[in-house]
Amino acid sequence: MDRAWIDGQPATSDEALDAAAKLLADAVQPFVGGLRTDVAGLRAAFALAKDLGAIVDHADSATIEPFLSALRDGGAFLAAPAEMRRRADRVLVLGDEPATIGADLLTSLSTSEPDLGVRTRGSGRQIMVLGTVAGPVEGHDGVTRIDCASDDLVDVVGMVRARLAGRPIGEGPLGGTTIATIAEFVAAAGFGCIVFSPAEVGALGSEQVFGLAADLNAETRCSTLPLLGSDNAMGAALLSTWTAGFPLRLSFGRREAEHDAALYASDRQLSGAGEADCAVIVDALADGAAAAAPAVALPAIVLAADPAAAKAAQIGFAVASAGRDHDSILYDSRFGSFVGQTAQESSELPTAAAILTALAERLGGRVADAA
Partner 1 sequence: MSGLTFRKKAEPEERLDLSPLVPARLAGLAAKDIAALPIGLTRRGLVVDDVFTIAGDDPAAIRFEGGSHRFDRIGEAMAAGDITVDGDVGVRLGRAMAGGTITVNGTAGDDAGSAMAGGVIAISGDAGDRLGGPFAGEMTGMKGGTITVGGHAGARAGDRMRRGVIAIAGDAAGDLGSRMIAGTIVVGGTTAATPGRLMKRGTLFLCGGVDHLAPTFLDNGPADLLILKVMADAFAEGAVGPVPFAGKMMRRLGGDTAVLGLGEIFLPI
Q: Which stretch binds partner 1 (CB under 8 A): 75-83, 95-103, 207-215, 292-300?
A: 207-215
Q: Which stretch binds partner 1 (CB under 8 A): 31-39, 135-143, 232-240, 251-259?
A: 251-259
| Residue 47 lies near partner 1 (rule: CB under 8 A) | no
Q: Nearest-CA neighbor of 183 among 204, 157, 220?
A: 157
By CB under 8 A, the count of residues binding partner 1 is 39
Q: Considering only residues 270-289, where is the footprint of partner 1 by CB under 8 A?
A: 275
For residue 54, the minimal CB distance to partner 1 (Å) is: 9
| Residue 75 lies near partner 1 (rule: CB under 8 A) | no
For residue 306, the minimal CB distance to partner 1 (Å) is: 31
Beta bridge partners of 326: 322
| Residue 73 lies near partner 1 (rule: CB under 8 A) | yes
Specify the 3-state DSSP secondary structure of 24: helix
For residue 29, the minimal CB distance to partner 1 (Å) is: 5
The answer to whether 97 touches 227, Cβ cutoff 8 Å, is yes
Angle between helix 153-165 and helix 176-187 axes, rounded to 10 deg: 70
Q: Which stretch binds partner 1 (CB under 8 A): 82-90, 133-141, 171-179, 353-361?
A: 171-179
Beta bridge partners of 55: 31, 251
Q: Considering only residues 141-160, where is the footprint of partner 1 by CB under 8 A?
A: 154-155, 157-159
Question: What is the separation, in whole angstroms, between the first and last Cα of the chain?
Answer: 38
The answer to whether 250 touches 241, Cβ cutoff 8 Å, is no
Pick one of 52, 234, 270, 360: the residue that binds partner 1 (CB under 8 A).
Answer: 52
| Residue 299 lies near partner 1 (rule: CB under 8 A) | no
Q: Which stretch binds partner 1 (CB under 8 A): 218-226, 249-257, 285-293, 312-320?
A: 249-257
Using the minimum distance from each CB to partner 1, give the nearer residue, 60 or 207.
Answer: 207
The answer to whether 79 touches 223, Cβ cutoff 8 Å, is yes
For residue 61, the minimal CB distance to partner 1 (Å) is: 14
Specify the 3-state DSSP secondary structure of 33: strand
Q: Which stretch binds partner 1 (CB under 8 A): 78-86, 101-109, 205-213, 220-228?
A: 205-213
Residue 38 CB contacts under 8 Å (≥ 6 apart), including other chains: 284, 322, 323, 328, 329, 330, 341, 352, 353
Q: How far apart are CA 157 and CA 161, in angstroms?
A: 6
Tell me which long-range contacts 254-258 makes (C-beta under 8 A, separation of at least 24): 254/53, 255/50, 255/53
- Enclosing H/E stretch for 67: helix 65-74
Beta bridge partners of 238: none
| Residue 251 lies near partner 1 (rule: CB under 8 A) | yes
Q: Nearest-CA neighbor of 101 among 78, 131, 140, 57?
A: 131
Positive/negative CA dihedral, 263, 267, 268, 269: positive
For residue 212, the minimal CB distance to partner 1 (Å) is: 9
Using the minimum distance from each CB to partner 1, give the nearer residue, 139 or 168.
Answer: 168
Q: Considering only residues 175-204, where is the footprint of partner 1 by CB under 8 A?
A: 204
Please give the single-letter amino acid code of residue 77.
F
Pick one of 14, 138, 141, 260: the residue that binds partner 1 (CB under 8 A).
Answer: 260
For residue 260, the minimal CB distance to partner 1 (Å) is: 7
CA separation, residue 4 to residues 11, 44, 302, 323 (Å)? 5, 19, 10, 21
Pick one of 118, 122, 167, 177: the residue that binds partner 1 (CB under 8 A).
Answer: 167
User: Which x/- pattern over 3-32 shows residues binding partner 1 (rule: CB under 8 A)?
Assistant: -------------------------xx---
Pick one of 117, 172, 294, 307: the residue that binds partner 1 (CB under 8 A).
Answer: 172
| Residue 259 lies near partner 1 (rule: CB under 8 A) | yes
Which residues of this chain interact with partner 1, rule CB under 8 A? 28-29, 52-53, 69, 72-73, 154-155, 157-159, 161-162, 165, 167-173, 204, 207-208, 211, 251, 253-254, 258-263, 275, 367, 370-371
